[in-house]
Chains A and B, each alone.
Chain A
Amino acid sequence: MTFRESAAPIRSVWPAIFAGFALLLSGALSILSVRVFGLTAGFGFLPLTILAIWPRRASEVASVILVFLAGIFTDWATGGVVGQWALTFTLVWMLFRPELREQPYAAVKLMLVWGLICGFAVLLLSISGWVVYRILPDPTSFALQILMATLLLPLVLLLRRWLAHLFGDADEWRR
């Protein structure tokens, strides 16, 4: 399969719905944190792991709508300014579209994409936070949230593979 072919698969709605639900769930869980050795690591970047492995065959229009709605939900759940996570999710999805991933499951590329996603999200959140609060964000908090999400990324990936295996039309949405 050439890159051009892999980059333009036929889309369907169900993978987007699955991924949207996962994003919604991770948005709800993003309010959690764990405190170890005096440092509090939040799960704030957990939804970005879902965006990093968004199904390549998911309907784009449905994906955009669900990503935006999950962002608004995350803003409400975390008590932040409404629109901040929605903007971040949408722009991250837009910039790192699933079809841009040539080899979806290549570990090195996934980590590279993941690093870029985190960097881009930090930039977006810092700018939008500056616009609203007129202060720069706490870098330690960002670092710990990225660390926590990076530790959970393999688990999320395994969960997705398991779900893809579980459903009959796995090929439709696992890629």
Chain B
Amino acid sequence: MTRKERPNSGWTRVALLVSVALSCFLIAVGRSDIRDGSAPRTVTEAGVTPLAAIVSIPLRSVESFFGGLSDRASAYEDNQALKEELALLRERQARYENLAMKVARYESILGVDTQTDIPLKKIAARAVAETDGPFVRSLLINVGRDDGVSIGNPVMSADGLIGHIINLGPDSARVLRLSDLNSRIPVASARSGATAILAGDNNIRPKLSFISQRVDWEIGDRVISSGDDGALPRGLAVGEVVRGEEGGLRVRLASRAHPLDWVWVSPFQPISAPSETDSPEGEPS
């Protein structure tokens, strides 16, 4: 090698000082949330997504292997539970079909549409990387703007809501998970209709906050998205209410039931705010 240097030169100290000062500066000025759609971050995510997709293949195999062991160990109990659930669901299905007919008839009489606003179209994606760090809970998926995904779209697994899109590239997107510190979504109890905010705090079970009708929340309640903010559709399965270690109410997320592999994005169009210029005809704007 031609270019050589002696150790502990003054330049090393300068480089270290500059690096540490620059890092501290970046932390200080950086936004505390990860909703940073800056070009370098988007380009980095787009670059690492294919690599992560390749490396995650053997990792998913390992997960499947260990998951299979657990499933086999509880196969008999699961089978019994499923038979009981099936019997219950058959009865409920008959009742549901009757109710659906009644509702459809009332809707036609009243001229209203009460159907849920969950879009039927789904965009399948592969969860290539699951960042489950001490401060950040996010997911990288291999679909992006070119596939019709938009910022804010909800991301689901077969079990329930995982989170929503916060950063978008042409072929990749970052999903803010419900357990992340920055995640806040309005939810409702499927039993009572009581509403709350599901607030992530980097715990695997996010907490229920701003509960106006606490009396209507019970342990075991099924939690769904309420759609109150207009950003997420109403009725997405979120999880089940459990008692937290500190005594408050938390939610056991349905999406954590199985390792994430394939997910889908609902291309939901949020309700847009009325523009100030869209005033009724004749009225001054």
Chain A interfacial positions (CB closer than 8 Å to B): 7-14, 28-29, 31-37, 40, 42, 44, 59-61, 64-65, 67-68, 71-73, 76-84, 86-87, 90-91, 94, 99, 125-126, 128-129, 131-133, 135, 137-139, 141-142, 145, 169, 172
Q: Determine which of A65, A79, A138 lies in contact with B174 in the assembled complex, contact meaning CB atoms within 8 Å.
A: A79
Q: Considering the chains assembled together, what is the distance between the CA atoms of A72 and B44 in angstroms?
A: 10
Instruction: Name the residue on B nearest A173 (C-beta).
Output: B1
Contact at B12–A60, with CB atoms within 8 Å?
yes
Cβ < 8 Å to A, chain B residues 21-37: 22-27, 30-32, 34, 36
Write out, one digit per residue, whether chain B residues 30-60 have a CB within 8 A of any chain A CB (1) or not (0).
1110101000110011011001100110010
A14-B1, A64-B19, A76-B44 given; A33·B132 CB < 8 A? yes
Contact A80–B63 (Cβ < 8 Å) = no
Question: How far, in whole Å, are A128 and B27 apart by their CA atoms in the complex?
Answer: 8
B145 to chain A, nearest CB (A): 18
Point out residues on B near A: beta carbons under 8 Å: 1, 3-9, 11-12, 15-16, 19-20, 22-27, 30-32, 34, 36, 40-41, 44-45, 47-48, 51-52, 55-56, 59, 62-63, 66, 70, 129-136, 138, 140, 167, 174, 181, 201-203, 259-260
- Which A residues lie within 8 Å of B6 (CB)? 8, 10-11
**B45 engages A80 (CB within 8 Å):** no
Contact indicator A135/B40 (Cβ below 8 Å):
no
Report yes or no: A129 in contact with B5, Cβ–Cβ below 8 A.
no
Bound complex: CA of A49 vs CA of B4, how far in Å? 26
Are A37 and B8 closer than 8 Å at their CB atoms? no
In the complex, residue of chain B having the shortest beta-carbon distance to the beta carbon of A35 = B259
Contact of A64 among B12, B41, B174, B201 (CB under 8 A): B12
Given contacts A11-B6, A31-B140, contact A86 B34 (CB under 8 A): no
Complex Cα gap A79–B139 (Å): 9
A-side contacts of B34, CB under 8 Å: 79-81
Q: Cβ of B23 and Cβ of A86 under 8 Å apart?
A: yes
Cα(A78)–Cα(B25), bound, Å: 19
Q: Quick one: which of A11, A29, A42 contacts B5, CB cutoff 8 A?
A: A11
Question: When the two chains form their complex, are residues B52 and A59 in contact, meaning their CB atoms are under 8 A apart?
Answer: no
The 28 sampled A-B contact pairs (Cβ below 8 Å) are A11-B6, A12-B5, A29-B55, A31-B129, A33-B130, A33-B132, A36-B62, A42-B131, A42-B133, A59-B5, A60-B5, A60-B12, A73-B44, A76-B41, A79-B45, A79-B138, A81-B31, A81-B32, A82-B27, A83-B22, A86-B19, A87-B24, A91-B20, A94-B16, A132-B30, A137-B134, A138-B203, A141-B134
